[in-house]
Amino acid sequence: MWVDGRQDDGQLRLDHARSFFEAARFPDDFHRAARPMSADNEAVVHAIHPIEPGANIAGVNTYTVDRNAPRLDDKCGIFEYHVNHTLRTLYPNPTGNLLDAIRANIHYFYTAMEARGCTEIFPYGRFEDGESNNYYAPPDYPEVELPELGTFPYPPVELPTYSDPLVDVGPGATTA
- For 29-87, the pLDDT digits (tens) are 888 776 666 666 677 777 887 888 888 888 888 989 988 888 877 889 999 999 998 89
Same domain, yes or no, for 73 and 37? no
Q: What proportion of the chain, given as a percentage, has pLDDT over 70? A: 66
Tell me how far apart the alpha carbons of residues 48 and 72 are, in angstroms, rounded to a whole number.
13
Same domain, yes or no, for 46 and 76? no
Average pLDDT over residues 118-132: 73
Same domain, yes or no, for 77 and 45? no
Domain that holds residue 39: 1-50
Tell me how far apart the alpha carbons of residues 55 and 33 are, in angstroms, rounded to a whole number.
28
Average pLDDT over residues 119-139: 63
Please report the sign of the dihedral spanned by the C-alpha atoms of residue 69, residue 70, residue 72, residue 76: negative
Half-sphere exposure of 139 (CA within 13 A, CB side): 6
Return all residues near 142 (Cβ < 8 A) that are at least 6 apart: 154
Same domain, yes or no, for 78 and 35? no
Q: Residue 87 CB: number of other CB atoms within 10 A?
A: 18
Total count of domains within the chain: 2
